[in-house]
Amino acid sequence: MKTRNIPKIIEGVYWVGCGSWGGLTKIISAEGSGNVFCVGAKEDWALVDAGTAHAVKPLLHNLESVNIRPQNIRRIVLTHSHADHVTGAGMLVKRTRANIAASTIVAKAMEGDEKSRNHLFMQQEYEPLPIAKRLTEGDIVKLGPYNFSVMLTPGHIPGSITLFGKIEGVRILFTGDTAIGDQGDALGVTGWLDGHWHSNPKHLLKSIERIRACNADIMLPGHGFPIRGKDKVKASLEHCAERIQRLLTIPNLDCMFPLDLDE
């Protein structure tokens, strides 16, 4: 298998999986996969998101190429339940020592709740998996030896979370598809909004405002490039908010997003 250049974000954080996302980024694992990040130290590592099933083999190869043994992956934290971020989880659990952590809504989908699966998985086939830890607002989740706080950030889809923490003083956000930020010539990219997924632009705007308040140094989104530097992160999130604010000026927008899903 071809050995790829695996980007190190900072010491203890690697970008180990993604597709090309429409040609913007180089493929790190396999086409069609969302971003996967590996966080940790020594023999204690975690993955943020799992990517797609067909990306698992190259993802494991990528881990080995930076001297991270699969059996040292202790946890997989899912930012949300779309297929490009979670369908690799089952294979990864079999190949590693990992358990899975996810929000309550995502846990329901992962464990096979039909309503959640239909709306949040885009109706793709998926083998249900047990969730070891159900995350809610304010929980602390370990990514390797590092503590990250859980923020419930719905809007793209219900059950979306953002992780915020520090590694050696560097303030880091894992935003999933809630905020993707400035990518190439596109400013303020967010995950797609679709009423069938229970997307809610008003909720998304509130989530982005909360993420902005973290004043992070690095933002690691679910697609596209990492965003480095406090000023660039701030500008990206401001652009995300502006994009959603413009969307909310459309008359009767609520009619396009009529669905709701209780926590």
Residues 8-250, CATH architecture: 4-Layer Sandwich (3.60)
Is residue 263 pLDDT above 70, yes or no? no
CA atoms within 13 A on the CB side of 96: 30
CA atoms within 13 A on the CB side of 181: 26
Q: 130: Cβ–Cβ under 8 A, 6 or more apart, which residues?
A: 100, 111
CB of 145 closer than 8 Å to CB of 41: yes
pTM, 2 dp: 0.94
The better pLDDT of the pair 22, 206 is held by 206
Confidence of residue 240 (pLDDT cuts 50, 70, 90): very high
Q: What is the pLDDT of residue 72?
A: 98
Can you tell me the mean pLDDT for 28-35?
95
Confidence of residue 21 (pLDDT cuts 50, 70, 90): confident
Is residue 175 pLDDT above 60, yes or no? yes
Q: What is the pLDDT of residue 259?
A: 55
Confidence of residue 231 (pLDDT cuts 50, 70, 90): very high
In tens, the pLDDT along 181-205 reads 999 899 999 999 988 788 999 999 9
Is residue 22 pLDDT above 90, yes or no? no
Tokens representing 147 are: 């503590």
Is residue 134 pLDDT above 90, yes or no? yes
Confidence of residue 132 (pLDDT cuts 50, 70, 90): very high
* Listed range (69-73, 93-97, 133-137, 191-195) with the worst mean pLDDT: 191-195
d(CA 149, CA 18): 24
Alpha helix segments (H runs only) across 96-227 = 104-110, 114-120, 201-212
Tokens representing 175 are: 């935003």
CB of 78 closer than 8 Å to CB of 110: yes
Average pLDDT, whole number, for the chain?
92
Confidence of residue 242 (pLDDT cuts 50, 70, 90): very high
Element (H, E) at 8: strand 8-10
Q: Is 201 helix (H, G, I), strand (E, B) or coil?
A: helix
Q: 250: Cβ–Cβ under 8 A, 6 or more apart, which residues?
A: none
In tens, the pLDDT along 80-107 reads 999 999 999 999 999 998 999 999 999 9
Residue with tokens 């004043």: 215
